[in-house]
Amino acid sequence: MFEMLLPKVRVNTVFDIDLEDLYAQGYRGIITDLDNTLVGAKAPLAHPELIAWFELVKKNGFQLIIVSNNHLKRVSDFATPLDIQYVHEARKPSLKSFNKAMKMMGLSNTETIMVGDQMLTDVLGGNRLGLLTVLVLPISVQDEGWGTRINRRVERIALKSLRKKGLWLEEEHKE
């Protein structure tokens, strides 16, 4: 029942993603969530380490686009100074926003990676389209809104079931 919530890769942060390996596998685009994936939900701007990671992403040959359920001002204020394309009010896991992002990059699902911190939005949406899904640990859980808090409760139920079935092993988590 919860298998569609399983990410293909689990890492602590975006900095732990092996960009060179993924490029060698044929991936060319990264769709990433914003809040609690790149920065805490209340952090208005990217910090220097994240800006350096964005440069590394581009240097490694990837296109990057932010797909966020958040409103226009939040996403625009973050992405525009960095010259990063974005889709706001995405309604993830709706496929429309993922398809729009891939169209903006001119890429197919087999060339696209979805990176996010939520199983119910980022991973489910990415898996439904056959994207490589990468789950990161949330950066600042205490800053999450009520909708995300509800999602986290459902995720805990899903994780319990997945662990029971032997589908979620803690040692699979890459650091």
Any domain includes 25: yes
Structure tokens at 139: 């950066």
**Is the sign of the CA dihedral 105, 125, 120, 14 positive or negative?**
negative
Residues 6+ apart with CB under 8 A from 109: 102, 129, 130, 131
Q: Give the pLDDT of residue 142.
A: 67
In a domain, 173, yes or no: no
> Could you read off the pLDDT of 108-143 as tens digits, one per residue?
999 999 999 999 899 999 999 999 999 999 987 667
Name the nearest CA neighbour of 75 among 97, 60, 55, 96: 97
Q: How many domains in the chain?
A: 1
Q: What is the pLDDT of residues 73-117, one digit of tens each?
A: 999 999 999 999 999 999 999 999 999 999 999 999 999 999 999
| CATH code for the domain of 46 | 3.40.50.1000
| Structure token digits, residue 104 | 């903006």
Percent of the chain with pLDDT over 90: 74
For residue 141, being part of any structural domain is answered with yes
In a domain, 172, yes or no: no
Q: Is the peptide bond before 93 cis (omega within 30 degrees of 0)?
A: yes
Assigned domain for 170 exists: no
Tell me which of 18-32, 97-111, 150-164 is least confident: 150-164
Among residues 83, 67, 174, 72, which one has the least CA distance to residue 129?
A: 67
Whole-number mean pLDDT of the chain? 91
Which residue would you say has higher pLDDT here, 108 or 165?
108
**CA distance linking residue 149 with residue 30, whole number of Å:** 25
User: How many CB atoms are located within 10 Å of the residue 33 CB?
Assistant: 25
* Cα angle value 43/4/121 (rounded, 5°): 25
CA distance 67 to 88: 6
For the entire predicted model, the pTM comes to 0.89
Query: Is residue 75 a part of any domain in this protein?
Result: yes
Asked whether residue 8 is domain-assigned, the answer is yes
Q: Are 64 and 53 in contact (CB under 8 A)?
A: no
What is the domain range of residue 151? Answer: 3-165
pLDDT attached to residue 175:
47
Q: What is the DSSP letter of 12?
A: S
- Considering the domain boundaries, does residue 87 fall inside one? yes
